[in-house]
Structure 1
């Protein structure tokens, strides 16, 4: 009888299938659309210390600067290969009058920034100063025009001021103000968030206004910027529906905004640090909604624009938490943790998967505001975990996306909530190397991933990993390197290349045969 029981136990064990490892397969033989470098675009709005103090200190500041822009911050941003900067807003754009920001700085009018904190706006940073910044960064300029309180004349004259090489009065005024040659304006948006702070419009009304304004945004074809229409947000596809149907051949792209909020509620969003695992989970759940938002809008675009002439520009995205205690609520200052780096990487992987339509994104924002790259305090500066995520993903700029499949994926579960354990993306970079990015959403358990490259031999990987012990690990002015990337490598054994992805980690590596 005892022997029979042992035999039955043995049979039962044999009947249980072996644990299936997570396998990530990259199809290197069939490259997909190029991942536009502008997917890694940035956003600098006149908001809190996002510009004044954080980026701009003025040419007379004791903080080392070039033409008023902080050398330390600009140097750090250059290391990210920032491809594009959006300016001057945001909500600020629809109250910004460009003539206030030209000419001698001591003679420029002082206004009130009614959107963000009710503080004085000196207009010290205007058109010329902005182009100094993008030229220092080697980036393209994305200028957001004022539809809300401006006029078609004001907008068209700004385009002429920036782009004309003629002897017109406006072109001569630009030369008088110190820039003989035209500025290079890569993109120009007609308004911002027309559904909200940009005018509380219906998409149909905005569409008619766009057509009117666009009719007067004249510039020689070779220097005319690509014109962007202000689109919808969150799960609303009505804006994409109306704009893509009515603006065929009149817009290069439709913008879209989506912010990740832990609670999903604007009134009480959740803390940037000191959060529990429930808010780790809810934050990642909410950021993964980006996939559905893009899919839904792309389906509308594919119906109305099957030739794929119109891009889908996610020109505001990122995490939005309750502001840090003791700071101006209108300045949107928040800390930045490992959780933010994971959020960034998950979104990068989503954007890569839709590279044919998602041709630009702009995280909000570059310095000191929301999910920033850099935090400053007077003359001090630190790099955030999100900064490091951007730096790790630099090889994906203008790389050819590669099809990726994840088999036997794990699930990260907490209570009734569940999300995929591993997110993956791959591309063939301009340097010819194959790069893979992996994200482990589980804050407790590492995951072994078997990497397979169809059509090629994968013998080793070399790259970096970003992780930490605490979910809310972050850098401070006292500990500027509490969290930063570490070297990462793996070698094939017995014909199989297994990569151990640590808990709550972002890993990016190149693959060698």
Structure 2
């Protein structure tokens, strides 16, 4: 998913540039009128204009949602095109020229609709820039969002609109406002003022209460939740040594030490131009082909046989993505047949295509949902005719807010309507953050990192919405699982960006920890594959340093989860102080994100707890009460920590002739990168006996840390 063109198309998400024609609007003052929709003119909000050309595309009226009076847009089957159902205002831009304005709104939707609020700066040469707030299914709630628009000096007008995408359902709008950055925006009725970034500094340590019920199992953790991605290009991104004509021994050793349970191959994005036979047979007979149309080339030195050998060394299984862009169902079925004949465990996990729902996908094979549904059904039928026991995933997901990567908001619903009975799991890519493409390079780095650390709550909400949609269409007795086949910290893709190399930091590792917690807690998530294991550029969790391999902070945190947590996840409740964050990149604003997050497993007489402290400078005194046990033996702590959000192990970007990497943003320690910057500390806690509430334990969590607490000899 990393190629430049794809990420630019995804991150900007500007498919609806201008919903309302200027001819339908009269230029007013610089002040937005009736942004709270309190005043009405007939059935519509006063001050907002409804173009006659869209009146037959649905109904616009005022409605009560959660006891609040809001604007409701209900589209019909005629909605769409360049003029969807909506209302707008045209403002004089004079008061905003040369300023940054914060655009805020509360949005909600249901039934396949997407609520959109946008602001465009207009000048004599047309559209000069815009922001859009988007919200899909919201579970009946109106959720706050905000973005910042830099208004050029040449702007004459600002157009503000509330529109609905989709042909069914309803969208709701409240609390639309726009104020210069740094000014207080008016509060929506019944709502708190939109969040700003709260300072994270106090002299005293925070106190956090954690309750663990050792007798209440939430789920059995699927082994496949600890997966990763391996690509075929550039000698398997370094896992193959061309000089030795063999797998790279150091790279394989580090993969084995990490212990991923699933290797997804041959992409991401390269899956839909990949023909698996190119990577089979004698090395000297293998061809050199383009990674994607008109792209760079690699020889197929790292193919099915090589990735299978790496998987065997790591004790992992394979998830193979068949080429649905430029391949055929027969080619996919032959791959299944071949993998059943090779020595070793057969491949049971398969996926049809990568991100074919995305305009600009580098495979050049973007397609509509109806076409993909037909392709998926033909592929699944052909592949299961060879082996009915395999599990096959379709691609999909739900857009949410500015995380709007799928061209068609109804892609997944269309696929499910046509093929739900043949889908074993849905492959989604809903957990990249913060993706600051389009965000000013001068943005405060702490603002960016805090937004990323708040993002797991957005991922969790998206998974809940997706689960509800799957429940609607799945066959009784045959649930459809969720596989997050790509996820991870991601900042930028352009080499000259000052953010491009921040994937490797301690702040990114804390995002990894909290996102893993989300996957663990969601009962429908059966597989997750971080992106990606190795890379010649900046995204590998195994990077290069001084001609060798070096583990990054995300790798080290992932290893804590992989090698410490047991299988039985138990109920864990955390009461923690919180922080607020601004909307950045693809991450919506968050009002109450907990500093501390935790998960726990109990297997037999042993309990494992992983505790995440996201605070930059505050230690945490965590008071843990363990219910359902009488006493414990001694407990051990293993702490991974750093002194700054941008601390890192010093992996190095490659030297490429003609390519200049940008000077990276410095929070405090980025330029000091070295293995010693990410430290491990260990300790021991005495055993404890139960009080009336349960067995009490107290653990000290340093700032910016992930702590594993291993408790032995649980006595019930």
Q: Shorter-chain TM-score: which interval?
A: 0.7 to 0.9
Task: Choose which of 620, 627, 639 in structure 2 pairs with 1:447.
Answer: 620
Task: Choose which of 467, 483, 486 in structure 2 pairs with 1:313.
Answer: 483
Decide which structure has the larger Cα Rg and report it.
Answer: 2
How far apart, CA to CA, are the structure 2 residues paired with 1:275 and 1:483? 23
- In structure 2, the CA distance between the partners of 1:132 and 1:163, relative to structure 1 (3 Å rule), is same
- In structure 2, the CA distance between the partners of 1:214 and 1:303, relative to structure 1 (3 Å rule), is same
Deviates more, 1:311-320 or 1:500-509: 500-509
Partner of 1:405: 573
- In structure 2, the CA distance between the partners of 1:353 and 1:218, relative to structure 1 (3 Å rule), is closer
> Is 1:92 paired with 2:287?
no
Deviates more, 1:478-487 or 1:137-146: 478-487
Partner of 2:213: 27
Could you tell me whether the CA contact under 8 Å between 1:465 and 1:505 is conserved in 2? yes
- In structure 2, the CA distance between the partners of 1:215 and 1:87, relative to structure 1 (3 Å rule), is same
Q: Greater share of strand residues, 1 or 2?
A: 2
Deviation for aligned residue 1:366: 0.2
> Is 1:357 paired with 2:524?
yes
**Mapping of residues 172-211 of structure 1, within 5 Å:** 179=342, 181=343, 184-196=346-358, 197=361, 199-211=365-377
Task: Choose which of 82, 87, 103 in structure 1 pairs with 2:281.
Answer: 103
Corresponding residue pairs, total: 461
Q: Greater share of helix residues, 1 or 2?
A: 1
Partner of 2:540: 372
Could you tell me whether the CA contact under 8 Å between 1:257 and 1:314 is conserved in 2? yes
- In structure 2, the CA distance between the partners of 1:446 and 1:412, relative to structure 1 (3 Å rule), is farther
- In structure 2, the CA distance between the partners of 1:190 and 1:493, relative to structure 1 (3 Å rule), is closer
Deviation for aligned residue 1:492: 6.6
Partner of 2:230: 44
**Mapping of residues 398-437 of structure 1, within 5 Å:** 399-407=567-575, 409-413=576-580, 418-429=592-603, 432-437=605-610
Structure 2: which 5+ residue stretches go unaligned? 1-204, 401-405, 583-588, 652-672
Q: TM-score when scaled to structure 1?
A: 0.81
> Is 1:383 paired with 2:569?
no
By relative contact order (CA 8 Å, sep 6+), the higher-ranking structure is 1
How far apart, CA to CA, are the structure 2 residues paired with 1:143 and 1:38? 14
Could you tell me whether the CA contact under 8 Å between 1:232 and 1:240 is conserved in 2? yes
Could you tell me whether the CA contact under 8 Å between 1:275 and 1:472 is conserved in 2? no
Deviation for aligned residue 1:385: 0.8
Could you tell me whether the CA contact under 8 Å between 1:57 and 1:69 is conserved in 2? yes
Deviates more, 1:140-149 or 1:382-391: 382-391
Deviation for aligned residue 1:160: 1.7
- In structure 2, the CA distance between the partners of 1:192 and 1:441, relative to structure 1 (3 Å rule), is same
Which SS does the other structure have where 1:281 is aligned?
helix
Deviates more, 1:338-347 or 1:70-79: 70-79
Deviates more, 1:443-452 or 1:193-202: 193-202
Which SS does the other structure have where 2:482 is aligned?
strand
Q: Cα deviations across residues 77-129 of structure 1 (Å, max 9, x unaligned)?
A: 212221110000111000001121122222222112237x9322101111212
How far apart, CA to CA, are the structure 2 residues paired with 1:378 and 1:226? 42
Structure 1: which 5+ residue stretches go unaligned? 1-18, 62-66, 165-178
What value does the CA root-mean-square deviation take over the aligned residues? 3.1
Partner of 1:344: 512
Q: Cα deviations across residues 383-404 of structure 1 (Å, max 9, x unaligned)?
A: 1111111111124666111111
> Is 1:153 paired with 2:321?
no
Partner of 1:232: 397
> Is 1:132 paired with 2:309?
yes
Deviation for aligned residue 1:295: 0.9
Deviation for aligned residue 1:140: 0.2
> Is 1:503 paired with 2:703?
yes
Partner of 1:251: 423
Deviation for aligned residue 1:137: 1.5
How far apart, CA to CA, are the structure 2 residues paired with 1:474 and 1:388? 11
